[in-house]
Protein backbone atom coordinates (compact mmCIF):
# COMPACT_ATOMS: atom_id res chain seq x y z
CA UNK A 1 0.00 0.00 0.00
CA UNK A 2 1.41 3.41 -0.94
CA UNK A 3 0.00 6.90 -0.52
CA UNK A 4 1.01 7.80 -4.09
CA UNK A 5 -1.51 5.35 -5.56
CA UNK A 6 -4.95 6.45 -6.62
CA UNK A 7 -7.51 4.25 -4.90
CA UNK A 8 -11.14 3.45 -5.60
CA UNK A 9 -13.95 1.44 -4.03
CA UNK A 10 -17.71 1.13 -3.78
CA UNK A 11 -18.64 3.54 -0.97
CA UNK A 12 -22.40 2.97 -0.92
CA UNK A 13 -24.40 0.04 0.43
CA UNK A 14 -24.86 -3.57 -0.59
CA UNK A 15 -25.77 -4.21 -4.19
CA UNK A 16 -28.15 -4.30 -5.96
CA UNK A 17 -29.44 -0.86 -5.00
CA UNK A 18 -31.02 2.18 -6.60
CA UNK A 19 -27.71 4.04 -6.69
CA UNK A 20 -24.10 2.90 -6.35
CA UNK A 21 -21.36 5.38 -5.40
CA UNK A 22 -17.81 4.61 -6.52
CA UNK A 23 -15.22 6.87 -4.91
CA UNK A 24 -11.71 7.62 -6.23
CA UNK A 25 -8.99 9.44 -4.30
CA UNK A 26 -5.40 10.25 -5.16
CA UNK A 27 -3.15 12.12 -7.58
CA UNK A 28 -4.61 10.45 -10.69
CA UNK A 29 -8.28 10.63 -9.65
CA UNK A 30 -9.18 13.28 -12.24
CA UNK A 31 -7.07 11.64 -14.95
CA UNK A 32 -8.76 8.28 -14.31
CA UNK A 33 -12.22 9.84 -14.34
CA UNK A 34 -11.56 11.72 -17.58
CA UNK A 35 -10.55 8.44 -19.21
CA UNK A 36 -14.09 7.21 -18.54
CA UNK A 37 -16.20 10.36 -19.04
CA UNK A 38 -14.16 12.95 -20.92
CA UNK A 39 -12.89 16.35 -19.78
CA UNK A 40 -13.69 17.61 -16.27
CA UNK A 41 -11.59 20.78 -16.49
CA UNK A 42 -12.96 23.58 -14.32
CA UNK A 43 -15.86 21.46 -13.09
CA UNK A 44 -17.26 22.53 -9.71
CA UNK A 45 -20.73 20.95 -9.85
CA UNK A 46 -22.43 17.62 -10.40
CA UNK A 47 -22.32 16.56 -14.04
CA UNK A 48 -24.45 14.03 -15.89
CA UNK A 49 -21.98 12.02 -17.96
CA UNK A 50 -21.75 8.80 -19.96
CA UNK A 51 -19.06 6.34 -18.88
CA UNK A 52 -17.31 4.42 -21.67
CA UNK A 53 -14.73 1.66 -21.89
CA UNK A 54 -11.38 2.21 -23.55
CA UNK A 55 -12.81 0.68 -26.75
CA UNK A 56 -15.67 3.21 -26.74
CA UNK A 57 -18.45 0.85 -25.68
CA UNK A 58 -21.03 2.17 -23.21
CA UNK A 59 -20.70 1.34 -19.50
CA UNK A 60 -23.40 3.44 -17.82
CA UNK A 61 -24.71 6.97 -17.42
CA UNK A 62 -24.59 8.75 -14.08
CA UNK A 63 -23.55 11.76 -12.03
CA UNK A 64 -19.90 12.75 -11.56
CA UNK A 65 -18.93 14.84 -8.53
CA UNK A 66 -15.48 16.42 -8.37
CA UNK A 67 -13.61 17.48 -5.22
CA UNK A 68 -10.23 19.15 -5.59
CA UNK A 69 -7.82 18.57 -2.72
CA UNK A 70 -7.42 19.65 -0.01
CA UNK A 71 -11.17 20.40 0.06
CA UNK A 72 -12.28 16.78 0.09
CA UNK A 73 -12.88 14.01 2.62
CA UNK A 74 -9.37 12.60 2.20
CA UNK A 75 -7.62 15.91 1.54
CA UNK A 76 -6.65 14.60 -1.92
CA UNK A 77 -8.27 15.01 -5.34
CA UNK A 78 -11.47 12.96 -5.19
CA UNK A 79 -14.11 11.86 -7.69
CA UNK A 80 -17.45 10.22 -7.02
CA UNK A 81 -19.43 8.33 -9.66
CA UNK A 82 -23.15 8.00 -8.80
CA UNK A 83 -24.25 5.09 -11.00
CA UNK A 84 -27.07 2.61 -11.35
CA UNK A 85 -26.65 0.21 -8.47
CA UNK A 86 -26.31 -3.14 -10.21
CA UNK A 87 -23.58 -5.71 -9.60
CA UNK A 88 -22.76 -5.75 -13.30
CA UNK A 89 -22.34 -1.97 -13.62
CA UNK A 90 -20.08 -1.72 -10.57
CA UNK A 91 -18.02 -4.72 -11.68
CA UNK A 92 -17.56 -3.29 -15.19
CA UNK A 93 -16.51 0.18 -13.97
CA UNK A 94 -14.21 -1.35 -11.36
CA UNK A 95 -12.54 -3.48 -14.03
CA UNK A 96 -11.87 -0.40 -16.18
CA UNK A 97 -10.39 1.49 -13.23
CA UNK A 98 -8.22 -1.46 -12.15
CA UNK A 99 -6.70 -1.63 -15.64
CA UNK A 100 -5.37 1.94 -15.37
CA UNK A 101 -1.74 2.45 -14.22
CA UNK A 102 -1.26 3.51 -10.58
CA UNK A 103 -4.96 3.02 -9.85
CA UNK A 104 -5.98 0.19 -7.53
CA UNK A 105 -8.79 -1.08 -5.33
CA UNK A 106 -8.76 0.50 -1.85
CA UNK A 107 -8.01 -1.48 1.29
CA UNK A 108 -10.31 -1.45 4.34
CA UNK A 109 -10.41 2.00 5.91
CA UNK A 110 -7.89 3.47 3.47
CA UNK A 111 -9.98 6.54 2.59
CA UNK A 112 -10.33 7.39 6.28
CA UNK A 113 -6.66 6.71 6.93
CA UNK A 114 -5.71 9.18 4.21
CA UNK A 115 -8.08 11.71 5.78
CA UNK A 116 -6.23 11.21 9.08
CA UNK A 117 -2.79 11.44 7.51
CA UNK A 118 -3.77 14.62 5.66
CA UNK A 119 -5.12 16.28 8.82
CA UNK A 120 -8.80 16.12 7.87
CA UNK A 121 -9.70 13.89 10.85
CA UNK A 122 -8.05 12.91 14.11
CA UNK A 123 -8.28 9.43 15.66
CA UNK A 124 -11.22 10.25 17.93
CA UNK A 125 -13.14 11.60 14.93
CA UNK A 126 -12.18 8.50 12.92
CA UNK A 127 -13.51 6.22 15.66
CA UNK A 128 -16.66 8.32 15.90
CA UNK A 129 -17.13 8.01 12.14
CA UNK A 130 -16.83 4.22 12.38
CA UNK A 131 -19.39 4.19 15.20
CA UNK A 132 -21.74 6.45 13.23
CA UNK A 133 -21.65 4.08 10.25
CA UNK A 134 -22.38 1.14 12.57
CA UNK A 135 -25.03 2.94 14.66
CA UNK A 136 -28.32 1.06 14.95
CA UNK A 137 -30.11 3.12 17.62
CA UNK A 138 -30.73 6.81 18.25
CA UNK A 139 -28.43 6.95 21.28
CA UNK A 140 -25.62 5.26 19.39
CA UNK A 141 -26.05 7.88 16.67
CA UNK A 142 -25.94 10.72 19.20
CA UNK A 143 -22.83 9.36 20.91
CA UNK A 144 -21.09 8.84 17.56
CA UNK A 145 -21.96 12.38 16.41
CA UNK A 146 -20.36 13.82 19.57
CA UNK A 147 -17.15 11.97 18.68
CA UNK A 148 -17.18 12.06 14.91
CA UNK A 149 -17.82 15.79 14.51
CA UNK A 150 -14.98 17.00 16.74
CA UNK A 151 -16.66 17.80 20.06
CA UNK A 152 -14.70 15.25 22.05
CA UNK A 153 -11.41 16.05 20.32
CA UNK A 154 -11.89 19.72 21.13
CA UNK A 155 -12.27 18.87 24.82
CA UNK A 156 -9.02 16.86 24.86
CA UNK A 157 -7.18 19.60 22.96
CA UNK A 158 -8.34 22.21 25.48
CA UNK A 159 -7.08 20.06 28.35
CA UNK A 160 -3.72 19.55 26.61
CA UNK A 161 -3.39 23.31 26.03
CA UNK A 162 -4.09 24.02 29.70
CA UNK A 163 -1.37 21.56 30.67
CA UNK A 164 1.04 23.18 28.20
CA UNK A 165 0.38 26.63 29.65
CA UNK A 166 0.90 25.28 33.16
CA UNK A 167 4.21 23.72 32.16
CA UNK A 168 5.36 26.97 30.54
CA UNK A 169 4.71 28.93 33.73
CA UNK A 170 6.37 26.29 35.90
CA UNK A 171 9.45 26.17 33.67
CA UNK A 172 9.59 29.97 33.76
CA UNK A 173 9.58 29.79 37.53
CA UNK A 174 12.43 27.25 37.40
CA UNK A 175 14.48 29.28 34.93
CA UNK A 176 13.94 32.66 36.61
CA UNK A 177 13.63 31.67 40.24
CA UNK A 178 15.90 34.55 41.31
CA UNK A 179 14.14 37.15 39.18
CA UNK A 180 11.14 39.30 39.99
CA UNK A 181 9.43 38.59 36.66
CA UNK A 182 7.60 35.48 37.89
CA UNK A 183 5.54 36.28 41.00
CA UNK A 184 4.79 33.49 43.48
CA UNK A 185 1.06 33.95 42.98
CA UNK A 186 1.44 32.60 39.42
CA UNK A 187 2.48 29.21 40.77
CA UNK A 188 -0.55 29.09 43.06
CA UNK A 189 -2.83 29.92 40.15
CA UNK A 190 -1.24 27.18 38.00
CA UNK A 191 -1.85 24.46 40.57
CA UNK A 192 -5.41 25.59 41.21
CA UNK A 193 -6.12 25.20 37.49
CA UNK A 194 -4.33 21.83 37.36
CA UNK A 195 -6.38 20.65 40.33
CA UNK A 196 -9.57 21.77 38.59
CA UNK A 197 -8.51 19.96 35.40
CA UNK A 198 -7.87 16.79 37.43
CA UNK A 199 -11.44 16.90 38.74
CA UNK A 200 -12.83 17.41 35.21
CA UNK A 201 -10.77 14.50 33.92
CA UNK A 202 -11.86 12.25 36.79
CA UNK A 203 -15.53 13.04 36.13
CA UNK A 204 -15.03 12.40 32.43
CA UNK A 205 -13.46 8.99 33.10
CA UNK A 206 -16.35 8.07 35.39
CA UNK A 207 -18.67 8.33 32.38
CA UNK A 208 -16.78 5.66 30.44
CA UNK A 209 -19.14 2.93 31.56
CA UNK A 210 -22.08 4.84 30.11
CA UNK A 211 -20.30 5.30 26.79
CA UNK A 212 -19.47 1.59 26.64
CA UNK A 213 -23.08 0.62 27.35
CA UNK A 214 -24.48 2.97 24.68
CA UNK A 215 -22.02 1.74 22.08
CA UNK A 216 -22.02 -2.00 22.86
CA UNK A 217 -25.45 -2.44 24.44
CA UNK A 218 -27.03 -2.80 27.90
CA UNK A 219 -27.01 -6.49 28.84
CA UNK A 220 -30.16 -7.83 30.52
CA UNK A 221 -30.29 -11.47 31.66
CA UNK A 222 -33.60 -13.24 32.29
CA UNK A 223 -33.14 -15.86 35.01
CA UNK A 224 -35.30 -17.93 37.29
CA UNK A 225 -36.55 -21.49 37.82
CA UNK A 226 -37.96 -23.66 35.00
CA UNK A 227 -41.42 -22.71 33.73
CA UNK A 228 -41.29 -19.25 35.31
CA UNK A 229 -42.08 -17.70 31.90
CA UNK A 230 -38.58 -16.61 30.89
CA UNK A 231 -38.82 -17.60 27.23
CA UNK A 232 -42.37 -16.26 26.97
CA UNK A 233 -41.19 -12.92 28.36
CA UNK A 234 -38.27 -12.79 25.90
CA UNK A 235 -40.62 -13.43 22.98
CA UNK A 236 -43.04 -10.78 24.24
CA UNK A 237 -40.32 -8.13 24.62
CA UNK A 238 -38.85 -9.01 21.22
CA UNK A 239 -42.25 -9.02 19.54
CA UNK A 240 -41.52 -12.32 17.79
CA UNK A 241 -40.75 -15.96 18.57
CA UNK A 242 -37.10 -16.23 19.58
CA UNK A 243 -37.26 -18.99 22.16
CA UNK A 244 -39.19 -22.28 22.19
CA UNK A 245 -41.99 -22.19 24.75
CA UNK A 246 -43.46 -25.41 26.18
CA UNK A 247 -44.87 -26.65 29.48
CA UNK A 248 -41.93 -29.06 29.74
CA UNK A 249 -39.44 -27.91 32.38
CA UNK A 250 -35.91 -27.41 31.13
CA UNK A 251 -36.77 -26.62 27.50
CA UNK A 252 -34.11 -23.89 27.28
CA UNK A 253 -30.67 -25.47 27.51
CA UNK A 254 -28.45 -22.73 26.09
CA UNK A 255 -28.32 -18.94 26.30
CA UNK A 256 -30.45 -17.19 23.65
CA UNK A 257 -29.90 -13.54 22.73
CA UNK A 258 -31.88 -10.86 20.95
CA UNK A 259 -31.08 -7.15 20.46
CA UNK A 260 -33.84 -4.66 21.25
CA UNK A 261 -34.17 -0.94 20.58
CA UNK A 262 -35.87 0.51 23.64
CA UNK A 263 -36.42 4.28 23.34
CA UNK A 264 -33.24 4.59 21.28
CA UNK A 265 -31.07 2.45 23.58
CA UNK A 266 -29.55 -0.86 22.47
CA UNK A 267 -30.59 -3.55 24.95
CA UNK A 268 -29.14 -7.06 24.64
CA UNK A 269 -31.63 -9.49 26.14
CA UNK A 270 -30.51 -12.98 27.21
CA UNK A 271 -32.83 -15.90 27.94
CA UNK A 272 -31.16 -18.52 30.14
CA UNK A 273 -31.81 -22.08 31.28
CA UNK A 274 -34.05 -22.60 34.28
CA UNK A 275 -32.08 -22.78 37.52
CA UNK A 276 -32.78 -25.90 39.56
CA UNK A 277 -31.14 -29.07 40.90
CA UNK A 278 -30.50 -31.52 38.08
CA UNK A 279 -28.47 -34.60 37.17
CA UNK A 280 -28.78 -34.09 33.41
CA UNK A 281 -25.30 -33.14 32.14
CA UNK A 282 -26.65 -31.03 29.29
CA UNK A 283 -29.05 -29.17 31.57
CA UNK A 284 -26.28 -28.64 34.16
CA UNK A 285 -24.13 -27.01 31.48
CA UNK A 286 -27.06 -24.74 30.59
CA UNK A 287 -27.47 -23.79 34.25
CA UNK A 288 -23.74 -23.04 34.53
CA UNK A 289 -23.99 -20.76 31.50
CA UNK A 290 -27.08 -19.12 32.99
CA UNK A 291 -25.10 -18.20 36.11
CA UNK A 292 -22.21 -16.82 34.03
CA UNK A 293 -24.58 -14.77 31.86
CA UNK A 294 -26.29 -13.30 34.91
CA UNK A 295 -23.00 -12.42 36.56
CA UNK A 296 -21.80 -10.63 33.42
CA UNK A 297 -25.04 -8.70 32.85
CA UNK A 298 -25.81 -5.06 33.63
CA UNK A 299 -29.26 -6.00 34.95
CA UNK A 300 -30.93 -9.28 35.93
CA UNK A 301 -34.64 -9.96 35.65
CA UNK A 302 -35.27 -12.61 38.30
CA UNK A 303 -38.54 -14.31 37.35
CA UNK A 304 -40.83 -16.42 39.47
CA UNK A 305 -44.43 -17.47 39.00
CA UNK A 306 -46.51 -15.41 41.44
CA UNK A 307 -47.01 -17.41 44.63
CA UNK A 308 -44.32 -20.02 43.86
CA UNK A 309 -41.43 -20.71 46.22
CA UNK A 310 -38.39 -21.21 44.01
CA UNK A 311 -35.91 -20.38 46.74
CA UNK A 312 -33.88 -18.17 44.35
CA UNK A 313 -32.42 -15.03 45.89
CA UNK A 314 -30.57 -11.96 44.64
CA UNK A 315 -27.36 -13.63 45.86
CA UNK A 316 -27.59 -15.94 42.83
CA UNK A 317 -26.23 -13.12 40.62
CA UNK A 318 -23.72 -11.47 42.94
CA UNK A 319 -23.56 -7.68 42.79
CA UNK A 320 -25.55 -7.22 39.56
CA UNK A 321 -28.71 -5.09 40.03
CA UNK A 322 -31.86 -7.22 40.12
CA UNK A 323 -35.53 -6.61 39.33
CA UNK A 324 -37.70 -9.30 40.91
CA UNK A 325 -40.61 -10.12 38.61
CA UNK A 326 -43.75 -12.08 39.40
CA UNK A 327 -45.09 -13.73 36.25
CA UNK A 328 -48.38 -15.16 34.98
CA UNK A 329 -50.45 -12.28 36.32
CA UNK A 330 -53.30 -13.53 34.15
CA UNK A 331 -53.55 -16.54 36.50
CA UNK A 332 -52.73 -14.93 39.86
CA UNK A 333 -53.25 -11.72 41.82
CA UNK A 334 -50.38 -9.24 42.09
CA UNK A 335 -48.13 -9.66 45.12
CA UNK A 336 -46.10 -6.97 46.91
CA UNK A 337 -43.09 -9.28 47.25
CA UNK A 338 -42.14 -8.48 43.62
CA UNK A 339 -40.87 -5.27 42.05
CA UNK A 340 -43.10 -5.85 39.02
CA UNK A 341 -45.92 -8.27 38.33
CA UNK A 342 -46.79 -8.99 34.72
CA UNK A 343 -48.33 -11.35 32.21
CA UNK A 344 -46.32 -11.97 29.07
CA UNK A 345 -49.41 -13.64 27.59
CA UNK A 346 -51.75 -10.63 27.92
CA UNK A 347 -49.10 -7.91 27.93
CA UNK A 348 -50.16 -6.51 31.32
CA UNK A 349 -47.15 -5.01 33.08
CA UNK A 350 -44.82 -5.27 30.06
CA UNK A 351 -44.66 -1.50 29.53
CA UNK A 352 -43.80 -1.03 33.20
CA UNK A 353 -40.89 -3.43 32.73
CA UNK A 354 -39.75 -1.69 29.54
CA UNK A 355 -39.81 1.66 31.33
CA UNK A 356 -37.81 0.20 34.23
CA UNK A 357 -35.12 -1.11 31.89
CA UNK A 358 -34.91 2.20 30.01
CA UNK A 359 -34.65 4.09 33.32
CA UNK A 360 -31.68 1.92 34.32
CA UNK A 361 -29.77 2.34 31.07
CA UNK A 362 -30.56 6.05 30.64
CA UNK A 363 -29.13 6.77 34.09
CA UNK A 364 -25.71 5.68 32.80
CA UNK A 365 -25.46 8.37 30.09
CA UNK A 366 -26.92 11.85 30.15
CA UNK A 367 -25.88 12.76 26.61
CA UNK A 368 -22.55 14.32 27.63
CA UNK A 369 -19.12 13.74 26.12
CA UNK A 370 -17.76 10.42 27.40
CA UNK A 371 -15.02 8.01 26.32
CA UNK A 372 -16.41 4.85 24.77
CA UNK A 373 -13.31 2.97 23.65
CA UNK A 374 -10.80 1.01 25.74
CA UNK A 375 -7.99 2.81 23.94
CA UNK A 376 -9.34 6.22 24.88
CA UNK A 377 -9.93 5.20 28.48
CA UNK A 378 -6.41 3.82 28.88
CA UNK A 379 -4.79 7.11 27.84
CA UNK A 380 -7.22 9.15 29.92
CA UNK A 381 -6.31 7.09 32.98
CA UNK A 382 -2.62 7.58 32.19
CA UNK A 383 -3.16 11.34 31.99
CA UNK A 384 -5.12 11.33 35.25
CA UNK A 385 -2.37 9.40 37.02
CA UNK A 386 0.31 11.80 35.75
CA UNK A 387 -1.65 14.85 36.88
CA UNK A 388 -2.21 13.25 40.29
CA UNK A 389 1.56 12.70 40.57
CA UNK A 390 2.18 16.33 39.57
CA UNK A 391 -0.17 17.60 42.25
CA UNK A 392 1.51 15.52 44.95
CA UNK A 393 5.21 15.53 44.01
CA UNK A 394 7.49 17.74 46.04
CA UNK A 395 10.00 18.70 43.35
CA UNK A 396 8.95 21.38 40.88
CA UNK A 397 10.97 19.96 37.95
CA UNK A 398 9.38 16.52 38.43
CA UNK A 399 5.94 18.08 38.65
CA UNK A 400 6.52 19.73 35.27
CA UNK A 401 7.61 16.38 33.83
CA UNK A 402 4.40 14.73 35.10
CA UNK A 403 2.37 17.43 33.32
CA UNK A 404 4.31 16.79 30.12
CA UNK A 405 3.48 13.08 30.38
CA UNK A 406 -0.21 13.89 30.94
CA UNK A 407 -0.35 16.14 27.86
CA UNK A 408 1.39 13.41 25.83
CA UNK A 409 -1.23 10.85 26.89
CA UNK A 410 -4.02 13.20 25.80
CA UNK A 411 -2.25 13.69 22.48
CA UNK A 412 -2.18 9.95 21.89
CA UNK A 413 -5.98 9.83 22.13
CA UNK A 414 -6.42 12.12 19.13
CA UNK A 415 -3.37 10.74 17.32
CA UNK A 416 -1.22 13.83 17.60
CA UNK A 417 1.53 11.97 19.48
CA UNK A 418 3.23 8.60 18.79
CA UNK A 419 0.35 6.39 17.65
CA UNK A 420 1.77 4.73 14.53
CA UNK A 421 1.41 1.26 16.04
CA UNK A 422 -2.34 1.83 16.52
CA UNK A 423 -3.20 2.92 13.00
CA UNK A 424 -3.37 -0.46 11.26
CA UNK A 425 -5.68 -1.81 13.99
CA UNK A 426 -8.03 1.19 13.96
CA UNK A 427 -8.43 1.54 10.19
CA UNK A 428 -8.71 -2.20 9.54
CA UNK A 429 -12.08 -2.10 11.32
CA UNK A 430 -13.62 0.05 8.56
CA UNK A 431 -15.48 -1.35 5.59
CA UNK A 432 -13.93 -1.17 2.12
CA UNK A 433 -14.83 2.18 0.56
CA UNK A 434 -14.52 4.19 3.78
Q: What percent of the chain has pLDDT over 70?
A: 85
Question: How are beta strands 17-25 and 78-85 bridged, if at all?
Answer: antiparallel
Q: What is the mean pLDDT of residues 8-23?
A: 94
CB 274 within 8 A of CB 230: yes
Residues 95 and 193 in one domain: no
* pTM given for the model: 0.81
Whole-number pLDDT of residue 118: 94
Q: What is the mean pLDDT of residues 24-38?
A: 96
For 131-171, how does the pLDDT look when each residue is reduced to its tens digit (9 = 90+)? 999 999 999 999 999 888 888 999 999 998 899 888 887 87
**How does the average pLDDT of the chain come out, rounded?**
86
User: What domain range is 66 assigned to?
Assistant: 6-120
**Lowest-confidence range among 74-78, 116-120, 177-181, 331-335?**
177-181
Whole-number pLDDT of residue 427: 63
Q: Is residue 422 part of a domain?
A: no
Residues 203 and 254 in one domain: no
Residues 230 and 165 in one domain: no
List 6's β-bridge partners, or say none: 103
For 309-331, how does the pLDDT look when each residue is reduced to its tens digit (9 = 90+)? 765 666 666 689 999 999 999 99
CB 350 within 8 A of CB 322: no
Query: Does the structure show a pLDDT above 50 at 248?
Result: no
The H or E element containing residue 234 is: helix 230-238
Is residue 104 very low, low, confident or very high in pLDDT (cuts 50, 70, 90)?
A: very high
CB 84 within 8 A of CB 60: yes
Residues 225 and 357 in one domain: yes
Q: What is the mean pLDDT of residues 57-81?
A: 95
Whole-number pLDDT of residue 421: 46
Of 51, 86, 120, the last residue of a domain is 120
CATH of the domain at 70: 3.30.1360.120
The phi and psi torsions of 347 (rounded to 5 degrees) equal: 90, -5
Query: Does the structure show a pLDDT above 60 at 23?
Result: yes
Alpha helices in 20-122 (DSSP H): 29-37, 87-98, 110-117
User: Would residue 377 be called left, alpha or beta, if left means φ above 0 and alpha means ψ between -120 and 50 degrees?
Assistant: alpha
Residues 182 and 257 in one domain: no
For 228-239, how does the pLDDT look when each residue is reduced to its tens digit (9 = 90+)? 888 899 999 988
DSSP string over 99-121: TSTTEEEPPTTHHHHHHHHTTS-
Amino acid sequence: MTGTDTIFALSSGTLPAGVAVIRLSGPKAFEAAETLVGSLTGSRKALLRTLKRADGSLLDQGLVLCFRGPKSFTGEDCIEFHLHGSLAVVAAVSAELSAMPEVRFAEAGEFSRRAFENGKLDLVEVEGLADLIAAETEMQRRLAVEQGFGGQSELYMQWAERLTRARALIEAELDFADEDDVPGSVSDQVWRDVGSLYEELTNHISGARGGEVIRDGFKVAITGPPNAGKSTLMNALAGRDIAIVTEIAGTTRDVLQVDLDLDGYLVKLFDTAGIRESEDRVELEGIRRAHLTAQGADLVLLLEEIGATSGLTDDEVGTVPVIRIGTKLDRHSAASSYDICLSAETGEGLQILRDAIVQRVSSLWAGSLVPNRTRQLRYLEEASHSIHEALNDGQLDLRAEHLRAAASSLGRITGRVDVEQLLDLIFSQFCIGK
